[in-house]
Amino acid sequence: MKRIAVSLLCLSFFISCAQRTKKNDVAIQTDDTRTYDTQRIVDNLDNPWGMTWLPEGSMLITEKDGRLIHFKDGTKSEIQNVPEVYNRGQGGLLDITLHPNYKNNGWIYITYSSTEGEGNGGNTKLIRAKLENGALTNIEDLYKAMPNSTRGQHFGSRIEFDTDGYLYFSVGERGNRDVNPQDLTRDGGKVYRLHDDGRIPEDNPFVGEANVREAIYSYGHRNPQGMARHPETGAIWVHEHGPKGGDEINIIEKGANYGWPEVTYGVNYSGTEITDQTSKPGMTQPIYYWVPSIAPCGMDFVTGDRYPEWKGHLLVGSLKFNYVELVKLNGSEVTGREKIAQDIGRVRNVRMGPDDYMYIAVEGDGIYKVVPKK
């Protein structure tokens, strides 16, 4: 009887997995023609989390351990006066981006894990600062997620501006899935929307509700580590880590609940079920999900004319499988998948540079530039 019970349990698990993968039916292809070369342009990096470009073409690179690197003319230098980070697990110095009007105002935006505020441990914080003489100056605190936690997982975090100048950033649910993602009175498992100076927009979806975090724009997220603005629609897209299976791509909508953990296409790491629900009324479905997980990190749309066959499609880094995935789109429908830069290493970030080249940040290695063959 015991063997029968175990067999039935296994059968139930595989049926559940099969049901969850019905939408995940876009086969991935490997680029066997290699119409491009990958050229390492920055070496000897540990965990390059975020990267952006200054107007003259030099790069700012965040190292998770708390170092901010300026790469210019082939040389790395360390920016001074960077706030101390809570370097634990997935926490540390995270994303970085420039204000859309950087040439006139000089603002740089950074997320990192900080011990400031309520409770032991740390949580994700957003600041802005200026860069003068190799150091951060005029540092302004914009938002600090709370409470702190000593858990080492799910800090998020990515930053993006929309076409109207609003700033979006993500915070993971800090490993507290049963409380944070669905509770609007708590931070974590959310995408936030602010004015560029940290003020909360009056038209944010939960402004005026008692005790809620009014900066919240969407909720029910697990750990969003990719964010990009669509080059045509201006919509903010994110991807987020699922548990075992169920990584998602979502288009962020005002006030939307993306369901975690009440709905998911994944299971616990042990293989046991989190929930048998993959959808519920009032909860927004992903436009795509991965089973098995690829552990997505970093995200951008292909723009410019250097890669004509890839233009308009989505780039997603894979930590788990050591490649960049080209997610082919027809509007918001995923129609194809292709491996780019296969076996390059654990991809922590992928971005389009201002020169219209694709750049890939690889853990324990450096940053690569993808150059089409002539």
Burial class (CB in 10 A: 0-12, 13-18, 19+), 1: exposed
**Residue 280 — left, alpha, or beta (φ > 0 → left; ψ -120 to 50 → alpha)?**
beta
Look at residue 14 in the predicted model and tell me its pLDDT.
42
Look at residue 374 in the predicted model and tell me its pLDDT.
80
The Cα 321–Cα 238 span in angstroms is 20
Strand ranges, E, within 165-279: 167-171, 190-194, 216-219, 224-229, 236-240, 247-251
Which strand (E) or helix (H) includes residue 4?
A: helix 2-20
Does the predicted model carry a pTM greater than 0.85? yes
Say if residues 208 and 245 touch (Cβ distance below 8 Å): no
Which residues have a Cβ under 8 Å from the Cβ of 288 and sit 6 or more positions away? 23, 24, 26, 248, 249, 327, 334
Residue 154 catalytic?
A: yes
SS3 category, 184: coil
Bond preceding residue 292 cis, omega within 30 of 0: yes
* Two structure tokens written together for 340: 């780019």
Angle at 205 between CA 199 and CA 208, to 5 degrees: 70
Look at residue 6 in the predicted model and tell me its pLDDT.
36
Say if residues 299 and 316 touch (Cβ distance below 8 Å): yes
Look at residue 21 in the predicted model and tell me its pLDDT.
43
Within its chain, how far is the Cα of 303 from the centroid? 19
The Cα 67–Cα 61 span in angstroms is 8
- Could you tell me the sign of the dihedral formed by the alpha carbons of 338, 285, 180, 115, in that order? positive
Look at residue 28 in the predicted model and tell me its pLDDT.
87
Look at residue 112 in the predicted model and tell me its pLDDT.
98
Long-range contacts of 52-59 (CB under 8 A, 24+ apart): 52/96, 52/97, 52/98, 52/108, 52/351, 53/98, 53/353, 53/354, 54/98, 54/102, 54/131, 55/102, 55/103, 57/354, 57/355, 59/367
Q: Which of 154, 239, 241, 313 is an active site residue?
A: 154
Say if residues 290 and 275 touch (Cβ distance below 8 Å): no
Phi, psi dihedral angles at 107 (to 5 degrees): -85, 135
Question: From first to last of its 374 residues, what are the pLDDT tens digits of the chain?
Answer: 434 443 433 444 444 444 444 457 788 888 666 789 999 999 999 999 999 999 999 999 999 999 999 999 999 999 999 999 999 999 999 999 999 999 999 999 999 999 999 999 999 999 999 999 999 999 999 999 999 999 999 999 999 999 999 999 999 999 999 999 999 999 999 999 999 999 999 999 999 999 999 999 999 999 999 999 999 999 999 999 999 999 999 999 999 999 999 999 999 999 999 999 999 999 999 999 999 999 999 999 999 999 999 999 999 999 999 999 999 999 999 999 999 999 999 999 999 999 999 999 999 999 999 999 98
Domains of the chain: 24-372 (2.120.10.30)
